[in-house]
Structure 1
């Protein structure tokens, strides 16, 4: 689903406070530092706890393979105005020809600062601008109101609550389900030009940043 533009590890996104880029092998220690915390892992579907040795390396390898194949867009979060250690991850995973599933995890010391919302907004814009997806879906555990608040700020509509598979949690768990339709996104914000860095490839930028923004 994801285009050639995102399938090269020079691809990155810029927000007011963040760089979002492909995860690298050098990020393994930083990812382990927050992904191994129970308060982070227990709210996700895929992060195991206890966190196995070399799990971050496995994740990075798989994330890069998925990005290169266009199956997903897994990005690491770093702050612009501080040492560039990774403090979070955000993933957009193709689920069929027109649907993408969004997920994210942020280190606890960065909670309540708006980073998940900031990263989510640019990733959503990227999905709708560069792919044919008509909807983005996400879910949160019912005991995770902070994640629910992030999705609501991003414009997701609540659908229902039910039992969803959370493989790393060992089965089905109650989750709130959300969806963002392309039409709702367009009505809320219109078609925005993406930051210039999204168009950077091999050190060059497109002359017109809007040239890579597609109408669907």
Structure 2
């Protein structure tokens, strides 16, 4: 499903305020700190709380491997001016239906700033632009109105409620199913200019220097 373009770790998405790039081991501290917070973890299916320290590096390796193999596209969300400072993550995953499933989280210091919507719209633009799909799907826990607003602002339509297995939460929990059709996306494309673009060689060198000099977290 995921094209060759996304399988190289130089792939990134840019929005007005964000830089979405492949995760790396240098992000481990930020992931442990931010994703491990109860308020973040409890809204997800797979993030444990507390987050075991020994689980972070294998997680990063697994995301990178899956990206390289085209099994998914998982990206670190970072401020555009501080691309080493992970503030959350977003990903598109294969489903049996052939439609990608979108999931995301942000650390609590970065809530209520519109970052999640910006990241979701950038990833949606990329999926519809690069992959022949008729729709993108997502879901959210019924107790997560913030995530519901992100999806609705991005054009998703609620398809109904269901009980979903959330392994890290230990059972079945009420969730709401959402779907964004290609036709709806096409009508909403004016929401922003975002997505993948080639990086000039000189800027690649500048970014490489920044990556090597800046710490993972401020």
C-alpha distance after superposition, 1:25-72 (max 9, x if no partner): 111001111011000000001101121122221211111011011111
Paired residue secondary structure (1:77): strand
Q: Which residue of 1 aligns with 2:5?
A: 5
Aligned residues: 203
- Structure 2 gaps, min length 5: 204-218
Identify the residue that residue 64 of structure 2 maps to in structure 1.
64
Structure-2 separation of matches of 1:12 and 1:83: 11
Q: Cα offset for 1:95?
A: 1.0
Cα shift readout 1:113-169 (whole Å, capped 9, x = no counterpart): 000000000100000000122111111111100000000000000011110111111
Question: How many angstroms apart in 1 are the aligned matches of 2:179 and 2:83?
Answer: 35
Cα distance change on mapping 1:98 and 1:51 into 2, 3 Å? same
| CA distance, structure 2, for counterparts of residue 96 and residue 85 of structure 1 | 34
Structure 2 counterpart of 1:102: 102
Once the two structures are TM-superposed, the CA of residue 194 in structure 1 deviates from its matched residue by 5.3
Separation in 1, partners of 2:12, 2:117: 17
CA distance, structure 1, for counterparts of residue 58 and residue 141 of structure 2:
25
Where does 1:57-206 land on structure 2 (aligned, <5 Å)? 57-82=57-82, 84-96=84-96, 98-189=98-189, 195=195, 198-200=196-198, 203=201
TM-score by length of 1: 0.88
Q: 1:113 to 1:87 in 2, by over 3 A?
A: same
Structure (1 or 2) with the greater helix fraction: 2
Cα distance in structure 1, aligned partners of 2:140 and 2:113: 19
Deviations 1:177-199 (A, max 9, x none): 10111121112227x9754xx24
Identify the residue that residue 215 of structure 2 maps to in structure 1. Answer: none
Question: Judging changes above 3 Å, is the alpha-carbon distance between structure 1 residues 81 and 167 closer, same or farther for their aligned structure 2 residues?
Answer: same
Give distance in 2, aligned partners of 1:83 and 1:103: 21
The aligned counterpart of 1:210 is none
Helix, strand or coil for the counterpart of 1:48?
Answer: coil
